[in-house]
Every structure is written in C-alpha cells, then in structure tokens.
Structure 1
C-alpha cells in the first residue's frame, strides 16, 4: 500500500515535468492489467498447492524463493500500474473544466474542487466492490477468479479512458521542468549564500512583457524562506554569462517557497495515514478473532467491514459538496478561507477517537476470548471504529486534495495531489516501523508481545491506544503549524 503511493508521487513528477497528464495516464494504466494477469498466473500455477488450498481452514504450502519472487514482482507491477497515474488522472479530470476559457474563473475553480471530491468518492466506490464481493470470493479460496475479475475491470477502465480521447481538453507541460527548476533554486541559493541580500534593485524580475528588470527584496510576495532569495541576486558574473544553476527568476523562487510552505502541513498528517492503514491490517486481524457467523452458515469476511468506511466517506463527501453548492448559490460565506486546514484538524480529532474506540473494543473482545478460540463478541461491533476512521478520512484526505491543489503552482498541481497520496505511503511505513519497535520492546524477556499471531495472548488494545496518543501529539503540532501557515494568493 505504501509503495502504491510512492509510485503516485513519482508519476506526478513525470507528468508535470515531461509526459503531461494524459500521456502519463496512457502509459501507466496498461501496466495494471499486466500485473494482475501475472498475479493470476502465479497464484494459479505456483502458489495454490496442494489443490483446493487457500481458505482459512486449508492453508497452502510454504512458497519457494522463486515463487515468492514472482508473487512480489506481480504485486509491485500492480503498485506501479495503479499508483503512478492516479494523481495525473485527478488533475487531468480537473483540466476538463474550463468556463469561457478562463481557468481563473471562480465557477471553474468550484467545479474543479467538486471534481476532486467526486474523484475520491469514485475510487472508494470501486474499492467497495473489491472489499465486499471480491473479499467474499477470495475468502472461499477462489483467488484466481477474484484476480481475473480485477483484470477485467482494469481493462474496461482503460477502454473507457481511450474512448473519450476525441473529447478531452489537453494541457501540456509549459515552462521549465519543475523538478529541475526546484533544484536550480536550491543550488543557486547555496552558491550565493555569502552574498548579502540587497534592500533594493538587486533581484532579477520577469515582467509580463518578458523583459528583465531589478526588483526590491522588500517587494517580494513571500517574506518566508528568505535564504532562497539569494538565487535571484544578479551579480556581474551573471550579467556576462548567466546560468540557470546560478541565477533564477523571482517566479522560480516563489514557486519553490510555495512547495516548502505546504511540507510542514503534509508532515503533520503522517500519523493519520498510519491510523488509516489499520483498517486494512490490524482491524481485519481483530475482526478475524471475533464471531463472524450469521444464521444460515454465512460468515462475514473480516475485510468486508471496510465497506462501512467507504459508505461513510462517500455519503460525507457528497453531502458536504451539496451543502457547499447551496451556500454558494445563496452567496452565504459560512466557510472560512482556511477551511481546508480546519477540515484536516477535525479529521485528526475524529481519527483519534476511532483508535480509542478500537482499543476499548479490543479489550472487551479479549476478555470474552476463550483461550485460543475466537471471541464470542460479534464482528459488527467493529462498525463504530470504521465509521469514525471513515469520517476522519473524508475530512483529512479531501481537505488535502483541495489544499495541495490550491497551494502549489499550476505547473506542479499533479505533484500537489501526489503529495496527498504519498502521505499514505510514508504513513504506512511509519506504522510498520512503530509496530516493529513495539514488538521488539514488548517481546523482551520471552514475553509474547502486544501483537502476536494469537491476539488473545497479546495487548492489541495497548497498540491502538498508543496510536491514539501519537495522533494526539500530531494534532498538537499540526495546530501550531496550521495557525502560522500563510495562504498563497493568486498573484504568488
């Protein structure tokens, strides 16, 4: 899951710097079904041995090194194919909204923000099928069938994407390579670090006519990250032989400042990403140790409870978007300008509550466990924690989409969306690190540890409370950072 979102950030850079949004989608989307076919074949011919294995009651043999290597090659192809194009797909979709040919039109901006919300809903509704229907199919051991259904869906998606080509609006990358431009500003700033910043008439400035003229440092749009202003100082050497690695425009410097300004906000959502991945990891383990049988012999697949998260997220986003639309029509300024930051902060609070509820439920589940048997507590008691995490997800991640897309320059919009997705990646790795450290500490002296294979012998509740505590610390830091954040204005 972390690697999917790492590829999202890499694909976003390729999109903004070289390929453009359409061609990034067109190049990476076909890799997804290739990975799924490879996974299907690997599962069918290498992993499902002996025949009929792969259910909760009948485990398969331990795979060989070659079989494991083929499995990991398949799933990392899936990660590349599903992750690298997603930020480009989001921004390419928003490019299609252009009222009267004016991207700065408030009506256009409103439609683009709504598109990001519905894009997130669409990806969640797609997951709903996977985490209910496919989870049930695979829970019964029919893994290959589940993977081929996924392959068919991926091929259908590619066909639909290319069928719309004649109607798309294409925006190719313009101006300098954003990644090179970013590096040039950093290198030029370091090269001229010992040169004092002038108070007036010393910085290169590109006016609308394309001419170069000096500009005072006091007149720069952003007063933070002053060190980077060194990159725009014009020296005698620059006047004779200008180099982009020694001299940058004010516009380049301001673009880098925009990216650096949002990074502290991004860092303050990493623990939430660690909470978010609990739904597809330890929440599922917790559910598998609870009573899952319904009358008639049907068992609820533990992974299918993520459906409650998806439904809550979809309902919350659609309701919020309709409310915002109604208030906009009524010209009622209810939401403050920094509402994206408020949403993310509220999401952290709700997520913290979700982990506390999960910890309380786990304590009750373990108390009702009978030795090494499943607990008598019914699995649907997990619904409240999924609902709370779902509300937090809607607030944090849609807030991130809106925030990053509006606070980074147009040339880096895919990177802004990629940053939002990359927080899940880093959060996944951070969560794995926390779990590793916890297990290393709690298994000293021959103890079982907090999260052993048999949860009845562990303290999973303590781990959930620890994640709630880390989220509380993150919330405090986030509040401090958000209060000091200076919003980017259009002229920046």
Structure 2
C-alpha cells in the first residue's frame, strides 16, 4: 500500500494502531457530553443506556470494524492482483481503526462498570481482576486460533492465510471469520442478557 504522505516521508505501518487510542480520546467526551444526556432523555436511565447495552453496542461495532477490514483487504488484494501503477492508499485502513476505537469506548466502560458494580462490595477487587482476565484469555484464544488456521491453510499445495507475502495470503478470509464468530457471540450474548437481573437496578 502507498504509505507516503509527502515526498520522501512514509508513515510507519505500526503507527496506525494509534488511531484506536486517538479515537478513544476523542470519542469519550462526545459520549459523555452528548450521547449520554441525549439517550438519558429517552430512557430515563442516569447513565443513558445500561451496562449490558453498552457492552452489546461495543460488540456490534467491533463486528462492523471487522467487516470494514475484510472489505478493505479484499480491495487491496484486488488492487495488487491487477498490478496497478498507483497502489492503494494506506489511509483506507483508518476507518476500521476508528470504529474499533469507538467500540472500545462502549465495551471497556461497560465491562468495567459491570464487574465493579454487579459483584458484592467485598469482592469488587476480584471483579476488576476478572474483567482484566477476559483480555488475557482472549489473547490466548486468539493466538491459538491463528496457529490452528495457519497450520490448516498451509498444507502442501495451499497458501497460508497469513503468508509472509500478504498479496498471496488471505487476511480477508480471517477478518470474515472473526466477524462471523463475533456475530455468533453477539447472538449468545443477547440471549443471555435477556434473563439477567441487575443487583442494583436503580443505579444503571
């Protein structure tokens, strides 16, 4: 992809991760000052929407981010296949990072509030530890899934989805897989949340 923003200056690929943090910093005030008061007027809930609704919104937005990532990667692969003179601009990657950052605002805030507020007062430190354990378990599962997919798709006569030459790999398939698994996860999440009863219903 074309990473140049001016003659002789290339944007390092790793810096695009910073768009997630930038999106979080920008969106938190918007969420707190605009979205919460606006939603509060409709729902009559002090926090605008419930903790579980925040988490669900974050999961949904993360699915959208994966779909956008898959579509952009598909276009990139097609551009590389067509061997165009002008490569695809790297700025096409920005929207997926921005959406993922906004999803983090909803999910992280919802999870922290849920694990802090919905456990007994004496166990709140344990609740926060459980919250952090989600991300650790997720990283282990992610690494395991990538290893399995790489092994399965790199059989003789096949090209791994994660081939060192990205133009021969298929990261788009991986993004579609993540979107599909997240959609299934969201369906289960919505099913379980229907029967959840808040310990302190007047708070959120």
TM-score when scaled to structure 2? 0.86
Q: Deviations over 1:198-219 (max 9, x none)?
A: xxxxxxxxxxxxxxxxxxxxxx
Q: State whether residues 36 and 47 of structure 2, in contact with CA within 8 Å, keep that contact through their aligned partners in structure 1.
A: no
The Cα shift of 1:391 comes to 1.2
The answer for the alignment partner of 2:24 in structure 1 is 313
The answer for the alignment partner of 1:87 in structure 2 is none
Q: State whether residues 369 and 376 of structure 1, in contact with CA within 8 Å, keep that contact through their aligned partners in structure 2.
A: yes
Counterpart Cα distance in 1 of 2:137 and 2:97: 21
Does 1 or 2 have the higher relative contact order (CA < 8 Å, sep 6+)? 2
2:88 pairs, out of 377, 383, 389, with: 377
- Are 1:401 and 2:112 matched, yes or no? yes
The answer for the alignment partner of 1:115 in structure 2 is none
Q: State whether residues 55 and 108 of structure 2, in contact with CA within 8 Å, keep that contact through their aligned partners in structure 1.
A: yes
Q: Deviations over 1:165-204 (max 9, x none)?
A: xxxxxxxxxxxxxxxxxxxxxxxxxxxxxxxxxxxxxxxx
Alpha carbons of 1:352 and 1:324: their partners in 2 closer, same or farther (altered >3 Å)? closer
The answer for the alignment partner of 2:50 in structure 1 is 339
Q: State whether residues 397 and 420 of structure 1, in contact with CA within 8 Å, keep that contact through their aligned partners in structure 2.
A: no
**TM alignment of 1:205-220, pairs within 5 A:** none
Corresponding pairs, count = 198
The Cα shift of 1:472 comes to 0.3
1:389 pairs, out of 93, 100, 108, with: 100
Q: State whether residues 371 and 456 of structure 1, in contact with CA within 8 Å, keep that contact through their aligned partners in structure 2.
A: no
Alpha carbons of 1:458 and 1:326: their partners in 2 closer, same or farther (altered >3 Å)? closer
The Cα shift of 1:420 comes to 2.0
Q: State whether residues 36 and 48 of structure 2, in contact with CA within 8 Å, keep that contact through their aligned partners in structure 1.
A: no
The Cα shift of 1:478 comes to 0.3
Counterpart Cα distance in 2 of 1:358 and 1:326: 32
Q: State whether residues 66 and 178 of structure 2, in contact with CA within 8 Å, keep that contact through their aligned partners in structure 1.
A: yes
Q: State whether residues 20 and 100 of structure 2, in contact with CA within 8 Å, keep that contact through their aligned partners in structure 1.
A: yes
1:487 pairs, out of 188, 193, 198, with: 198
Counterpart Cα distance in 1 of 2:113 and 2:33: 16
Counterpart Cα distance in 2 of 1:463 and 1:299: 27
The answer for the alignment partner of 2:60 in structure 1 is 349
SS at match of 2:9: coil
1:469 pairs, out of 162, 169, 180, with: 180
The Cα shift of 1:446 comes to 3.1
Counterpart Cα distance in 1 of 2:73 and 2:34: 37
Q: Deviations over 1:208-248 (max 9, x none)?
A: xxxxxxxxxxxxxxxxxxxxxxxxxxxxxxxxxxxxxxxxx
The Cα shift of 1:438 comes to 1.1
Larger gyration radius, structure 1 or structure 2: 1
Counterpart Cα distance in 2 of 1:348 and 1:419: 18
- Are 1:365 and 2:76 matched, yes or no? yes
The Cα shift of 1:335 comes to 5.5
**TM alignment of 1:18-97, pairs within 5 A:** none
- Are 1:428 and 2:139 matched, yes or no? yes
**Alignment gaps of 5+ in structure 1:** 1-289
Alpha carbons of 1:421 and 1:371: their partners in 2 closer, same or farther (altered >3 Å)? farther
- Are 1:322 and 2:33 matched, yes or no? yes
SS at match of 1:447: coil
TM-score when scaled to structure 1? 0.37
The answer for the alignment partner of 2:163 in structure 1 is 452
**TM alignment of 1:110-189, pairs within 5 A:** none
Counterpart Cα distance in 1 of 2:126 and 2:27: 26
Alpha carbons of 1:448 and 1:347: their partners in 2 closer, same or farther (altered >3 Å)? same
Counterpart Cα distance in 2 of 1:325 and 1:482: 21
Alpha carbons of 1:324 and 1:453: their partners in 2 closer, same or farther (altered >3 Å)? closer
Q: State whether residues 37 and 48 of structure 2, in contact with CA within 8 Å, keep that contact through their aligned partners in structure 1.
A: no
Counterpart Cα distance in 1 of 2:166 and 2:77: 8
